[in-house]
Chains A and B, each alone.
Chain A
Protein backbone atom coordinates (compact mmCIF):
# COMPACT_ATOMS: atom_id res chain seq x y z
CA UNK A 1 0.00 0.00 0.00
CA UNK A 2 2.97 2.21 -0.56
CA UNK A 3 3.80 2.57 3.14
CA UNK A 4 5.31 0.27 5.74
CA UNK A 5 2.82 -2.09 7.33
CA UNK A 6 3.30 -4.35 10.31
CA UNK A 7 1.54 -7.35 11.74
CA UNK A 8 2.10 -8.34 15.34
CA UNK A 9 0.60 -11.75 16.01
CA UNK A 10 0.77 -14.36 18.72
CA UNK A 11 0.59 -17.74 17.06
CA UNK A 12 0.41 -21.31 18.31
CA UNK A 13 2.81 -22.58 15.70
CA UNK A 14 5.05 -21.50 12.87
CA UNK A 15 2.65 -23.20 10.49
CA UNK A 16 -0.27 -21.12 11.76
CA UNK A 17 1.85 -17.97 11.51
CA UNK A 18 2.83 -18.69 7.92
CA UNK A 19 -0.77 -19.46 7.03
CA UNK A 20 -1.98 -16.20 8.56
CA UNK A 21 0.73 -14.17 6.85
CA UNK A 22 -0.15 -15.73 3.50
CA UNK A 23 -3.83 -14.96 4.03
CA UNK A 24 -3.04 -11.37 5.03
CA UNK A 25 -0.80 -10.73 2.02
CA UNK A 26 -3.38 -12.13 -0.33
CA UNK A 27 -6.04 -9.90 1.18
CA UNK A 28 -3.94 -6.73 1.05
CA UNK A 29 -2.83 -7.44 -2.52
CA UNK A 30 -6.41 -8.00 -3.59
CA UNK A 31 -7.52 -4.68 -2.09
CA UNK A 32 -4.62 -2.85 -3.70
CA UNK A 33 -5.27 -4.46 -7.09
CA UNK A 34 -8.90 -3.36 -6.91
CA UNK A 35 -8.89 0.05 -5.29
CA UNK A 36 -5.50 1.65 -5.96
CA UNK A 37 -5.71 4.72 -8.18
CA UNK A 38 -2.06 4.24 -9.07
CA UNK A 39 -2.61 0.87 -10.74
CA UNK A 40 -4.03 1.43 -14.24
CA UNK A 41 -5.68 -2.02 -14.21
CA UNK A 42 -7.55 -1.48 -10.95
CA UNK A 43 -11.32 -1.16 -10.93
CA UNK A 44 -10.95 2.34 -9.54
CA UNK A 45 -8.61 3.45 -12.35
CA UNK A 46 -11.01 2.06 -14.92
CA UNK A 47 -13.92 3.94 -13.36
CA UNK A 48 -11.84 7.13 -13.22
CA UNK A 49 -10.64 6.93 -16.80
CA UNK A 50 -14.20 6.29 -18.01
CA UNK A 51 -15.52 9.41 -16.24
CA UNK A 52 -18.00 11.31 -18.41
CA UNK A 53 -18.32 8.48 -20.94
CA UNK A 54 -21.21 6.08 -21.47
CA UNK A 55 -19.33 3.20 -19.84
CA UNK A 56 -20.87 1.90 -16.62
CA UNK A 57 -19.54 -0.59 -14.11
CA UNK A 58 -21.34 -3.25 -12.10
CA UNK A 59 -20.07 -3.19 -8.52
CA UNK A 60 -19.56 -6.23 -6.32
CA UNK A 61 -20.88 -6.14 -2.76
CA UNK A 62 -17.63 -4.97 -1.25
CA UNK A 63 -17.17 -2.05 -3.66
CA UNK A 64 -20.83 -1.15 -3.28
CA UNK A 65 -20.50 -1.04 0.51
CA UNK A 66 -17.30 1.00 0.20
CA UNK A 67 -19.27 3.58 -1.76
CA UNK A 68 -22.11 3.40 0.74
CA UNK A 69 -19.55 4.03 3.46
CA UNK A 70 -18.21 7.00 1.47
CA UNK A 71 -21.79 8.22 1.21
CA UNK A 72 -22.31 7.97 4.97
CA UNK A 73 -19.03 9.81 5.58
CA UNK A 74 -20.10 12.54 3.15
CA UNK A 75 -23.42 12.95 4.96
CA UNK A 76 -22.12 13.02 8.53
CA UNK A 77 -19.50 15.60 7.58
CA UNK A 78 -21.94 17.89 5.75
CA UNK A 79 -20.02 17.24 2.56
CA UNK A 80 -16.49 17.75 3.92
CA UNK A 81 -15.43 14.12 3.56
CA UNK A 82 -15.62 13.76 -0.19
CA UNK A 83 -13.88 10.92 -2.06
CA UNK A 84 -14.01 12.98 -5.29
CA UNK A 85 -11.79 15.73 -3.85
CA UNK A 86 -8.50 14.18 -4.99
CA UNK A 87 -8.47 16.28 -8.19
CA UNK A 88 -7.79 19.40 -6.10
CA UNK A 89 -4.19 18.31 -5.59
CA UNK A 90 -3.58 18.79 -9.32
CA UNK A 91 -3.46 22.59 -8.98
CA UNK A 92 -1.66 22.92 -5.65
CA UNK A 93 2.10 23.21 -5.26
CA UNK A 94 2.55 23.21 -1.48
CA UNK A 95 6.26 24.00 -1.65
CA UNK A 96 5.64 27.38 -3.30
CA UNK A 97 3.55 28.86 -0.45
CA UNK A 98 1.45 30.45 -3.19
CA UNK A 99 -2.18 30.25 -4.21
CA UNK A 100 -2.81 28.53 -7.54
CA UNK A 101 -4.31 30.66 -10.35
CA UNK A 102 -7.94 31.31 -9.47
CA UNK A 103 -9.31 30.05 -12.81
CA UNK A 104 -7.51 26.72 -12.47
CA UNK A 105 -8.71 26.36 -8.89
CA UNK A 106 -12.30 27.06 -9.91
CA UNK A 107 -12.08 24.48 -12.71
CA UNK A 108 -11.03 21.67 -10.37
CA UNK A 109 -13.46 22.64 -7.61
CA UNK A 110 -16.21 22.22 -10.23
CA UNK A 111 -15.12 18.57 -10.66
CA UNK A 112 -15.58 17.82 -6.97
CA UNK A 113 -18.91 16.69 -5.55
CA UNK A 114 -19.98 13.27 -4.31
CA UNK A 115 -23.62 14.38 -4.61
CA UNK A 116 -23.24 14.56 -8.40
CA UNK A 117 -22.83 10.77 -8.55
CA UNK A 118 -25.83 8.49 -8.91
CA UNK A 119 -25.37 5.55 -6.54
CA UNK A 120 -26.29 2.47 -8.57
CA UNK A 121 -24.80 -0.93 -7.88
CA UNK A 122 -25.47 -2.44 -11.29
CA UNK A 123 -24.32 0.52 -13.36
CA UNK A 124 -21.96 2.91 -11.65
CA UNK A 125 -20.18 5.77 -13.43
CA UNK A 126 -18.70 9.21 -12.85
CA UNK A 127 -20.91 11.77 -14.62
CA UNK A 128 -18.29 14.33 -15.76
CA UNK A 129 -14.99 14.00 -17.58
CA UNK A 130 -12.10 14.75 -15.25
CA UNK A 131 -13.93 13.59 -12.10
CA UNK A 132 -11.86 11.22 -9.98
CA UNK A 133 -12.46 8.88 -7.08
CA UNK A 134 -9.78 8.48 -4.46
CA UNK A 135 -10.64 5.86 -1.85
CA UNK A 136 -7.27 6.28 -0.13
CA UNK A 137 -9.01 7.77 2.90
CA UNK A 138 -11.12 4.64 3.39
CA UNK A 139 -9.47 1.58 1.90
CA UNK A 140 -6.30 1.52 4.00
CA UNK A 141 -8.32 1.77 7.21
CA UNK A 142 -10.81 -0.77 5.93
CA UNK A 143 -7.92 -3.08 5.06
CA UNK A 144 -6.74 -2.89 8.68
CA UNK A 145 -10.25 -3.75 9.95
CA UNK A 146 -10.69 -6.55 7.45
CA UNK A 147 -7.28 -8.02 8.26
CA UNK A 148 -8.06 -7.97 11.97
CA UNK A 149 -11.47 -9.56 11.32
CA UNK A 150 -10.02 -12.23 9.04
CA UNK A 151 -7.23 -13.05 11.50
CA UNK A 152 -9.73 -13.47 14.31
CA UNK A 153 -11.96 -15.71 12.25
CA UNK A 154 -8.85 -17.74 11.38
CA UNK A 155 -8.32 -18.48 15.03
CA UNK A 156 -5.79 -15.78 15.92
CA UNK A 157 -6.91 -14.22 19.19
CA UNK A 158 -4.05 -11.88 20.02
CA UNK A 159 -2.54 -9.42 17.62
CA UNK A 160 -2.29 -5.98 16.09
CA UNK A 161 -2.51 -4.77 12.50
CA UNK A 162 -0.61 -1.59 11.64
CA UNK A 163 -1.16 -0.32 8.12
CA UNK A 164 1.23 2.64 8.13
CA UNK A 165 -0.37 4.18 11.20
CA UNK A 166 -3.87 2.91 10.59
CA UNK A 167 -4.26 0.43 13.39
CA UNK A 168 -6.77 -2.33 14.08
CA UNK A 169 -6.61 -4.61 17.10
CA UNK A 170 -7.07 -8.34 16.54
CA UNK A 171 -7.13 -8.91 20.28
CA UNK A 172 -5.09 -7.77 23.31
CA UNK A 173 -1.84 -9.39 24.44
CA UNK A 174 -2.25 -12.98 25.66
CA UNK A 175 -2.15 -11.74 29.27
CA UNK A 176 -5.11 -9.49 28.30
CA UNK A 177 -3.09 -6.32 28.66
CA UNK A 178 -3.73 -3.65 26.00
CA UNK A 179 -1.52 -2.68 23.10
CA UNK A 180 0.16 0.64 23.83
CA UNK A 181 0.04 2.83 20.74
CA UNK A 182 2.56 5.65 20.72
CA UNK A 183 1.53 8.97 19.16
CA UNK A 184 4.58 10.82 17.91
CA UNK A 185 5.61 14.35 18.84
CA UNK A 186 5.22 16.86 15.99
CA UNK A 187 8.43 18.60 17.02
CA UNK A 188 10.51 15.46 17.41
CA UNK A 189 8.84 12.62 15.52
CA UNK A 190 10.90 9.92 17.19
CA UNK A 191 9.51 10.86 20.57
CA UNK A 192 6.04 9.92 21.72
CA UNK A 193 3.79 12.63 23.12
CA UNK A 194 1.20 10.17 24.30
CA UNK A 195 0.55 6.46 24.60
CA UNK A 196 -2.92 5.15 23.94
CA UNK A 197 -3.81 1.76 25.44
CA UNK A 198 -6.00 -0.20 22.99
CA UNK A 199 -7.83 -3.43 23.85
CA UNK A 200 -9.99 -3.56 20.74
CA UNK A 201 -11.17 -1.47 17.81
CA UNK A 202 -8.93 0.76 15.75
CA UNK A 203 -6.91 3.97 15.73
CA UNK A 204 -6.17 6.34 12.88
CA UNK A 205 -4.48 9.68 12.54
CA UNK A 206 -4.75 12.61 10.19
CA UNK A 207 -2.57 15.62 9.67
CA UNK A 208 1.07 16.17 9.07
CA UNK A 209 2.99 17.95 11.78
CA UNK A 210 6.05 18.51 9.63
CA UNK A 211 4.49 19.83 6.47
CA UNK A 212 2.39 22.94 6.19
CA UNK A 213 1.84 25.81 3.80
CA UNK A 214 2.19 29.50 4.70
CA UNK A 215 -0.54 31.68 3.26
CA UNK A 216 -0.71 35.37 4.25
CA UNK A 217 1.71 34.59 7.05
CA UNK A 218 -0.47 31.86 8.56
CA UNK A 219 0.14 28.12 8.78
CA UNK A 220 -2.32 25.97 6.86
CA UNK A 221 -2.36 22.19 6.60
CA UNK A 222 -1.99 20.24 3.37
CA UNK A 223 -5.60 19.13 3.71
CA UNK A 224 -7.93 20.74 1.18
CA UNK A 225 -11.55 21.74 1.72
CA UNK A 226 -13.53 20.05 -1.09
CA UNK A 227 -15.99 22.94 -1.32
CA UNK A 228 -13.43 25.74 -1.71
CA UNK A 229 -10.33 23.90 -2.81
CA UNK A 230 -8.39 25.82 -0.16
CA UNK A 231 -6.08 24.45 2.57
CA UNK A 232 -7.64 24.29 6.00
CA UNK A 233 -6.37 26.30 8.95
CA UNK A 234 -7.06 24.32 12.07
CA UNK A 235 -5.47 21.38 13.84
CA UNK A 236 -1.92 20.27 13.13
CA UNK A 237 -2.98 16.70 13.62
CA UNK A 238 -5.45 14.43 15.34
CA UNK A 239 -5.58 10.78 16.34
CA UNK A 240 -8.93 9.10 16.91
CA UNK A 241 -9.72 5.66 18.33
CA UNK A 242 -13.08 4.04 17.71
CA UNK A 243 -14.72 0.58 17.41
CA UNK A 244 -13.23 0.27 13.93
CA UNK A 245 -10.18 1.75 12.26
CA UNK A 246 -12.20 3.00 9.29
CA UNK A 247 -14.51 4.98 11.60
CA UNK A 248 -11.50 6.45 13.42
CA UNK A 249 -9.95 7.41 10.08
CA UNK A 250 -13.07 9.16 8.86
CA UNK A 251 -13.55 11.10 12.08
CA UNK A 252 -9.89 12.16 12.09
CA UNK A 253 -10.11 13.38 8.49
CA UNK A 254 -13.35 15.27 9.09
CA UNK A 255 -11.91 16.85 12.26
CA UNK A 256 -8.99 18.21 10.23
CA UNK A 257 -11.40 19.58 7.62
CA UNK A 258 -13.54 21.25 10.27
CA UNK A 259 -10.77 23.86 10.79
CA UNK A 260 -11.43 26.07 13.79
CA UNK A 261 -14.55 24.08 14.65
CA UNK A 262 -12.61 20.81 14.98
CA UNK A 263 -12.57 20.56 18.79
CA UNK A 264 -16.23 21.50 19.16
CA UNK A 265 -17.13 18.90 16.56
CA UNK A 266 -15.00 16.17 18.17
CA UNK A 267 -16.67 16.85 21.52
CA UNK A 268 -20.06 16.81 19.83
CA UNK A 269 -19.35 13.45 18.20
CA UNK A 270 -18.33 12.12 21.61
CA UNK A 271 -15.37 10.05 20.43
CA UNK A 272 -11.93 9.42 21.87
CA UNK A 273 -9.25 11.63 20.40
CA UNK A 274 -5.89 13.32 20.82
CA UNK A 275 -5.68 16.64 18.97
CA UNK A 276 -2.64 18.83 18.44
CA UNK A 277 -3.11 22.44 17.35
CA UNK A 278 -0.69 24.56 15.29
CA UNK A 279 1.08 25.70 18.45
CA UNK A 280 1.74 22.16 19.59
CA UNK A 281 -0.94 22.26 22.30
CA UNK A 282 -2.45 18.90 23.17
CA UNK A 283 -6.08 18.16 23.84
CA UNK A 284 -7.12 14.64 24.71
CA UNK A 285 -10.37 12.88 25.49
CA UNK A 286 -10.27 9.23 26.46
Chain B
Protein backbone atom coordinates (compact mmCIF):
# COMPACT_ATOMS: atom_id res chain seq x y z
CA UNK B 1 0.00 0.00 0.00
CA UNK B 2 2.77 2.39 1.00
CA UNK B 3 4.84 1.72 -2.08
CA UNK B 4 1.90 1.96 -4.43
CA UNK B 5 0.94 5.30 -2.97
CA UNK B 6 4.45 6.68 -3.25
CA UNK B 7 4.70 5.60 -6.84
CA UNK B 8 1.36 7.24 -7.57
CA UNK B 9 2.50 10.48 -5.91
CA UNK B 10 5.82 10.58 -7.71
CA UNK B 11 4.13 9.82 -11.00
CA UNK B 12 1.81 12.71 -10.36
CA UNK B 13 4.67 15.09 -9.64
CA UNK B 14 6.88 14.11 -12.53
CA UNK B 15 3.94 14.16 -14.91
CA UNK B 16 3.46 17.87 -14.52
CA UNK B 17 6.01 19.57 -16.70
CA UNK B 18 3.55 22.10 -18.08
CA UNK B 19 3.60 25.29 -16.09
CA UNK B 20 0.64 27.03 -14.52
CA UNK B 21 0.85 30.70 -15.37
CA UNK B 22 0.65 33.22 -12.53
CA UNK B 23 -2.72 34.50 -13.75
CA UNK B 24 -4.13 30.97 -13.71
CA UNK B 25 -3.61 30.59 -9.96
CA UNK B 26 -6.62 32.53 -8.75
CA UNK B 27 -8.35 29.38 -7.47
CA UNK B 28 -5.56 28.72 -5.01
CA UNK B 29 -6.25 31.97 -3.19
CA UNK B 30 -9.75 30.76 -2.28
CA UNK B 31 -10.15 29.71 1.31
CA UNK B 32 -11.66 26.34 0.40
CA UNK B 33 -8.55 25.51 -1.65
CA UNK B 34 -6.18 25.87 1.29
CA UNK B 35 -4.65 22.75 2.79
CA UNK B 36 -6.40 23.69 6.05
CA UNK B 37 -9.26 26.15 5.51
CA UNK B 38 -10.33 26.01 9.17
CA UNK B 39 -7.12 25.88 11.20
CA UNK B 40 -8.84 26.03 14.59
CA UNK B 41 -11.28 23.25 13.74
CA UNK B 42 -8.49 21.15 12.25
CA UNK B 43 -6.27 21.66 15.29
CA UNK B 44 -9.04 20.61 17.63
CA UNK B 45 -9.85 17.48 15.62
CA UNK B 46 -6.17 16.58 15.51
CA UNK B 47 -6.17 16.81 19.30
CA UNK B 48 -9.25 14.58 19.56
CA UNK B 49 -7.88 11.93 17.22
CA UNK B 50 -4.45 12.11 18.85
CA UNK B 51 -5.98 11.35 22.24
CA UNK B 52 -8.48 8.74 21.05
CA UNK B 53 -6.49 6.78 18.47
CA UNK B 54 -3.01 5.24 18.36
CA UNK B 55 -1.84 7.27 15.35
CA UNK B 56 -0.83 10.89 15.24
CA UNK B 57 1.17 13.27 13.09
CA UNK B 58 1.28 13.40 9.33
CA UNK B 59 0.39 17.03 8.84
CA UNK B 60 1.97 18.67 11.85
CA UNK B 61 4.73 18.02 14.33
CA UNK B 62 3.83 16.16 17.53
CA UNK B 63 3.51 19.09 19.94
CA UNK B 64 3.01 18.41 23.63
CA UNK B 65 1.15 15.46 25.04
CA UNK B 66 -1.77 15.44 27.41
CA UNK B 67 -3.25 13.16 30.04
CA UNK B 68 -6.43 12.83 28.03
CA UNK B 69 -7.99 9.44 27.51
Residue in B23, B25, B26 whose beta carbon sits within 8 Å of that of A148 in the complex: B23
A146-190 CB contacts (< 8 Å) to partner B: 148-150, 152-153
Interface members, chain B 11-32 (any A CB < 8 Å): 21-23, 25-26
**Interface footprint category on A:** under 10
Main secondary structure of the interface of B (DSSP, over half): helix
Q: B23 — which chain A residues lie within 8 A by C-beta?
A: 148-150, 152-153
CB distance from A72 to the nearest CB of B (A): 15
Smallest CB–CB gap between A160 and chain B, Å?
Answer: 14
Of all A-B residue pairs in the complex, the 6 with the closest CB atoms, nearest first, are A152-B23, A149-B23, A149-B22, A153-B23, A153-B26, A149-B21
Given A149-B23, A150-B23, A153-B26, 8 extra CB contacts under 8 A: A148-B23, A149-B21, A149-B22, A152-B23, A152-B26, A153-B22, A153-B23, A153-B25
Bound CA–CA A148/B23 (angstroms) = 8
| Residues on A with beta carbons closer than 8 Å to the beta carbon of B25 | 153
**Interface, chain B (partner A; CB < 8 A):** 21-23, 25-26
Chain B residue numbers with a CB within 8 Å of A153 are 22-23, 25-26
Looking at A148, A149, A150, which has the most chain B CB atoms within 10 Å of its CB?
A149
Q: Interface majority SS on A: helix, strand, loop or mixed?
A: helix
Chain B contacts for A152, CB-based, 8 A: 23, 26
Max chain A C-beta neighbours (<10 A), residue from B21, B23, B26: B23
- For residue B54, give the distance in angstroms from its CB to the closest CB of chain A: 45
Binding site for B on A (CB under 8 A): 148-150, 152-153
In the assembled complex, the CB of A148 is this many whole angstroms from the nearest CB of chain B, namely: 7
How far is it, in angstroms, between the C-alpha of A152 and the C-alpha of B25 when the chains are bound?
10
A-B contact pairs, 11 of them (CB 8 A): A148-B23, A149-B21, A149-B22, A149-B23, A150-B23, A152-B23, A152-B26, A153-B22, A153-B23, A153-B25, A153-B26
- Chain B residue with the shortest CB-CB distance to A152: B23
Contacts of B21 in A (CB 8 A): 149
| A147 smallest CB distance to B (angstroms) | 11
Nearest chain A residue, comparing its CB with the CB of B21: A149
Which of chain B's residues have a CB closer than 8 A to the CB of A150?
Answer: 23
- Nearest CB of chain A from residue B44's CB, rounded to whole Å: 34
For B22, the chain A residues whose CB sits under 8 A away are 149, 153
Nearest Cβ on chain A to B62's Cβ, whole angstroms: 35
Bound together, the chains give a CA A150 to CA B25 distance in angstroms of 11
| Bound form: Cα–Cα A39–B25 in Å | 34
Q: How far is the CA of A150 from the CA of B23 in the complex (A)?
A: 7
* Residues of chain B with a CB closer than 8 A to A149's CB: 21-23
B67 to chain A, nearest CB (A): 48
A132, chain B: closest CB distance, angstroms: 30
